[in-house]
Chain A
């Protein structure tokens, strides 16, 4: 097995807040294999944004990395200098963010912004413009040359997100991190963009870290999936394993509540009762215990990871025991 593109080991990140230390990520370990698409699933507050900011080293000033390594291209991202990181960003690691309406500078033309991010390349301006218009065509924006002269407000949300993807892939990165890129778009657009993303990934051969709370998209696009809850990884494995044979109660609940999964017509959509725990004052037991229908005495203690097969891991006391409660 070749080295993974991104190897996150035991990452813990905390924020210092007036109320105390907010432990946003605790012992998170995720691997992104070469040329694969890994999805991260979880509700708000699960730590996805913190994870991304840690990987890209664009963390808030009150955030501290408590432990862990993030290995990329044979070096630990957490240990390299800001200068070295800035050389990686936009070349080997690219990001696409959630809100396409805020992604671009409103007073500079799209062409100008797409040329600016090529600032490291020794090409003429014309060549850079051509590259930009090629990328735009690739993501399905017609009349690319003309549109380069236009400003962000002249594009719809869906097109802006495509532009963002074009910009991210322009430098042919090894890793693309996409933070809920289709959440702000409607369903038809979502389908198109996911399809295009898959095609581009095939062509360019990069790895993708894809964050979403839309299970259908993850199932469609990703090879592997990681389920996060309140700052921890609770289950991970191939999409097949995790979605067809979910082992963690949280994963099961997510699947049950997913509108795409529901077979019969109903008035009331199921939800998971309760709220995510207070990340400042955490209990010592399983982080999901409060909301778990299968909670029992063992859950006072934090569960360890157990493997169901070579790829499928879950952190729950119930695995290895009778599961049919």
Chain B
């Protein structure tokens, strides 16, 4: 088990390195000099000189990459072109909002989705199952930002049930939760359908396996069989899916933050692009990549923990 964790972390590290290198190469492949690319046209001569020194642009490319990494590991992702503040600090300031949004979205989507999926599997081909099936398929692919816009239009602007802007007063938890309702609904909606279908398919497969027949042959109560025996096995793929889905969640969060004018990583990136504040853009993209890699790794590890076959190394 420990061996597996190490292997998985090692893989994550390699991929991170490759991803960052790729980003670095892209910056350098853009026509024009890298400093303008990185700092944009607003850079002052002092900033340019500072960056040139930090990046070691006179040195050969591999050394530059290594320098980039050492800076990154020290937590130095550069400085904001306007304020001079460290990018890392800026990103960290906005990150909690995005993480909160993602977390709430996926939690309610998972709860509803798993329940729906279980119900569909146990009552296969019933009217409820068919309806749930069509609904699930319908919501899966609708882009989150369209859902955001429509719910903003209907529930916030027209009906005025929910706030249209912002994350709520800092320190006022109920207000903040209130502000989370619409955005998390918008992001979570397509996930409910996806998870429901996944759980349904997984459950149906598990329910057809021999050990479920044994459980029935011993007269175990139906709810036990469904939840303790079948769901436990069926849920394993869902964990991985959510981990991988983090990437999509981050993307969806970008749009939702814009639509609802919420603070967060997404808004930060867009604003920075508009103001040509490139270090912040790069820093944010890097950060979200790191989050994504971390979440997929975590999902794989949790999956291995839940399945004793991997745990004990069968």
Contacts and interface: CB of A to CB of B under 8 A. Distances in A.
B216 to A, nearest CB: 6
B52 interface: no
Contacts of B232: 105, 107-108
A304 to B, nearest CB: 35
Nearest to B314: A153
Interface stretch (B41-49, B128-136, B272-280, B301-309): B301-309
B213 A117 contact: no
A119 B216 CA distance: 13
Interface string B80-96: 00000000000000000
Interface in A216-247: none
Contact of B219 (A86, A103, A164): A86
B171 interface: no
A107 B312 contact: no
User: Interface range on chain A: under 10, 10 to 19, 20 to 34, or 35 or more?
Assistant: 20 to 34
B210 A106 contact: no
A97 B219 contact: no
Contacts, number: 72
Interface string B184-225: 000000000000000000000000011101111111110010
A87 interface: yes
Say which size band chain B's interface belongs to.
20 to 34
B1 to A, nearest CB: 13
Interface in B211-246: 211, 213-221, 224, 228-229, 232-233
A10 interface: no
Contacts of B309: 106-107, 151, 153
Of the listed residues A105, A108, A153, A167, the one surrounded by the most CB atoms of chain B closer than 10 A to its CB is: A105
A107 B210 contact: no
B312 A151 contact: yes
> Mostly helix, strand, loop or mixed at chain B's interface?
helix
A105 B229 CA distance: 7
Contact of A87 (B209, B219, B312): B219
Contact of B213 (A58, A85, A153): A58
A279 interface: no
Given A107-B307, A108-B229, A151-B309, A58 B219 contact: no
Interface string B290-313: 000000000000000011110010
B211 A105 contact: yes
B125 to A, nearest CB: 9
A107 to B, nearest CB: 6
B216 A151 contact: no
B211 A89 contact: no
A119 B220 contact: yes
Nearest to A117: B218
A85 B219 CA distance: 8
A24 interface: no
Contacts of A106: 211, 233, 308-309
B219 A90 contact: yes
B312 A97 contact: no
A29 interface: no
Given A106-B309, A107-B232, A151-B312, A116 B220 contact: yes
Given A116-B224, A151-B312, A153-B314, A105 B219 contact: no
A196 interface: no
A104 interface: yes
A88 interface: yes
Interface of B: 209-211, 213-221, 224, 228-229, 232-233, 306-309, 312, 314
Interface of A: 56, 58, 85-91, 94-95, 97, 99, 101-108, 116-117, 119, 151, 153-154, 164, 167
13 contacts: A90-B219, A94-B218, A95-B214, A102-B209, A105-B215, A106-B308, A107-B308, A108-B232, A116-B224, A119-B220, A119-B224, A164-B214, A167-B218
